[in-house]
Copies of this chain bind each other. A is one copy, B any other.
Amino acid sequence: MAVYTDVSDEELAAFVARYDIGGLLAFKGIAEGVENSNFLVHTEAGYFILTLYEKRVDPADLPFFLNLMRHLAGKGISCPTPLVARNGEMLGELAGRPAAMVTFLDGMWIRRPRTVHCAGLGEGLAKFHLAGADFAMTRANSLSVGDWRGLLDLSLERADEVAPGLGGELSHELAHLEAVWPSDLPSGVIHADLFPDNVFFLGDTLSGFIDFYFACTDAFAYDVAICLNAWCFEADLSFNVTKARAMLNGYRSVRDFTPEEFAILPTLARGAALRFLLTRLHDWLNVPEGALVTPKDPTEYLKKLRFHRDARSVSAYGLDE
């Protein structure tokens, strides 16, 4: 649930007047997203989403995110598209925050994805990767292998409060990943946070991606590895190989993996699991007083990490070696 900042009707009317979208008719705070404040805005030209960027987003990154969304939309990838104000800018300021207005994207996120959704996700993700190929801007992944040790150090002392032996297990895992992590895979813009709530469907058909605020320049296959973690485990944390196969084959139907990507996929999946484990562990151990949001259980990703550690090849994900 996220409306961190109240916006007055007067401020909003002035902000809307910066765009060529007619007069303001209605606006309502949206209980979605945990990083920013979002509002539904109805004007004479239609429905839009207004986002106020709160503290967790670095304002210096906003031009990358907004230009990326416009670039992708121009390439036929369905995603919210930032409006350009009359002054030529996509980024404005409202209630003391950087703010942007984007198009309203139809579709709903799927609470319980089925195999058909995983297949659609794989295909859509590959199209996303191809569409970003000629995007000129870059942004380093600030949550990649080189950042994990710093993250782990923040939690190491108290990690065993969460699960006995967790600190040792994570130290060992990280040392291994640091030693084998690849640096020469095919790369470009990745979404880096494609959990089910960031992918919209209409019925069984993918209707678009949202929430580009972790997007960065990194290995395409790492994005795939994040999706293996986020989409292919059941609620009981058993791995659904049918979903994984459908997702990977959906991806390959648009952009095939190189032999190197294929071989390293279990390692990337371990790394992706560790990345979410480390941020969740930190959030779990550092709940601010009076927090409105219950932190997510980090041990979910410990179990996923162990699954990928046991995966000797892509055969664990339903593909032939």
Contacts and interface: CB of A to CB of B under 8 A. Distances in A.
A31 interface: yes
A26 B110 contact: no
A202 B106 contact: no
A42 interface: yes
Copies in the complex: 2
Contacts of A111: 6, 8-10
A42 B108 CA distance: 10
A26 B104 CA distance: 9
A257 to B, nearest CB: 31
A108 B41 CA distance: 10
A180 interface: no
Interface string A6-32: 101110100000000000111111111
Given A30-B31, A47-B47, A107 B25 contact: yes
B112 A25 contact: no
A47 B202 CA distance: 16
A213 interface: no
Nearest to A42: B106
Contact residue range for chain A? 20 to 34
Interface in A280-314: 292
Interface in A101-126: 104-112
B27 A30 contact: no
A107 B292 CA distance: 29
A218 B8 CA distance: 33
A166 interface: no
A241 interface: no
A17 to B, nearest CB: 13
A175 to B, nearest CB: 40
Contact of A31 (B3, B9, B107, B200): B3
B1 A106 contact: no
A143 interface: no
A177 interface: no
A151 interface: no
Nearest to A24: B108
A62 interface: no
Interface string A77-117: 00000000000000000000000000011111111100000
A162 B3 CA distance: 30
Interface in A180-213: 200-202
Given A12-B108, A29-B31, A47-B47, 9 more contacts: A3-B31, A8-B112, A10-B112, A26-B105, A28-B32, A29-B32, A40-B40, A42-B47, A292-B292
16 contacts: A3-B31, A6-B111, A9-B109, A9-B110, A25-B107, A26-B104, A26-B106, A26-B108, A27-B108, A28-B32, A29-B30, A30-B40, A31-B31, A42-B47, A42-B106, A292-B292
Counting from the closest, the 6 A-B pairs by CB-CB distance are A29-B31, A3-B31, A25-B106, A8-B111, A31-B31, A9-B108
